[in-house]
């Protein structure tokens, strides 16, 4: 299976919103993605394309010296094939290319699968935001990935 990692474009958004609705309990809207792509100069979104269709995506905001991962998701049928890993790696590589070595994200406490992925790429638990997720009051784990000399 050929997996292409590339920048997200507006033609991807239908497929992305479909995944977003499948995966998240408080999904982002189509308009949010359009705004992110057209107007948010701090944002970078990438997709994983298989058979000419986006089957996963990831996004990041570059804020001063930090990269904040906004979302990363893979269509259920395509999980366990290394696509999440390629997307995360793509975001890390993009940050590095901009001279940004600190990256952070929030992840649901119950989402051990995503936490495993982030840990595999050097993210470490740095704390908890209590009841961060409004749909079920679940805590968020805050994770950071930093250069050794910045810890
Ligand atoms: C998290 C997610 C993006 C992973 O995507 P994926 O393409 O299935 O992941 P990969 O195949 O690249 O796996 C990479 C690593 O993730 C972890 N992982 C993936 N599936 C796992 C599973 N079923 N159980 C435990 N760990 C798992 C492992 O660390 C794995 O590395 P390994 O294969 O060396 O063990 C995907 O599960 C997903 O879309 N989940 C729903 C959305 C979500 O929770 N996003 C994160 C929000 S913060």
To test the ligand 1 pocket, which listed residue (111, 117, 123) has its Cβ within 8 A of the most ligand atoms?
117
Query: 67 CB less than 6 Å from ligand 1?
Result: no
**pLDDT tens digits along 29-83:** 999 999 999 999 999 999 999 999 999 999 999 999 999 999 999 999 999 999 9
CA 71, CA 116: separation in Å to the nearest integer? 15
Beta-carbon count within 10 A of 35 CB: 13
Query: 3 CB less than 6 Å from ligand 1?
Result: no
Would you call 81 exposed, middle or buried from its count of C-beta atoms within 10 A (0-12, 13-18, 19+)?
Answer: middle
Q: Which atom of ligand 1 is nearest to the CA of 69?
A: 48
Tell me the whole-structure pTM to 2 decimals.
0.96
**DSSP character at residue 102:** E
- Told to judge if 106 belongs to the known catalytic residues of this protein, a careful annotator would answer yes
52 conformational bin, left if phi > 0, alpha if psi -120 to 50, beta if neither? left
């Amino acid at each position: 299976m050929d997996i292409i990692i590339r920048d997200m474009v507006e033609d991807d958004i239908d497929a992305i919103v479909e995944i977003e609705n499948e995966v998240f309990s408080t999904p982002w809207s189509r308009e949010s993605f359009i705004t992110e792509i057209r107007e948010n100069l701090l944002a970078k979104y990438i997709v994983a394309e298989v058979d000419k269709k986006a089957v996963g995506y990831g996004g990041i905001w570059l804020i001063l010296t930090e990269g904040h991962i906004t979302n990363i998701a893979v269509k259920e049928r395509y999980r366990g094939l290394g696509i999440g890993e390629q997307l995360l790696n793509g975001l890390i590589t993009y940050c590095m290319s901009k001279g940004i070595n600190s990256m952070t994200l929030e992840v649901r406490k119950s989402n051990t699968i995503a936490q495993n992925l982030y840990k595999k790429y050097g993210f470490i638990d740095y704390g908890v935001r209590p009841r961060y997720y409004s749909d079920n009051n679940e805590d968020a784990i805050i994770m950071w990935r930093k250069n050794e000399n910045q810890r």
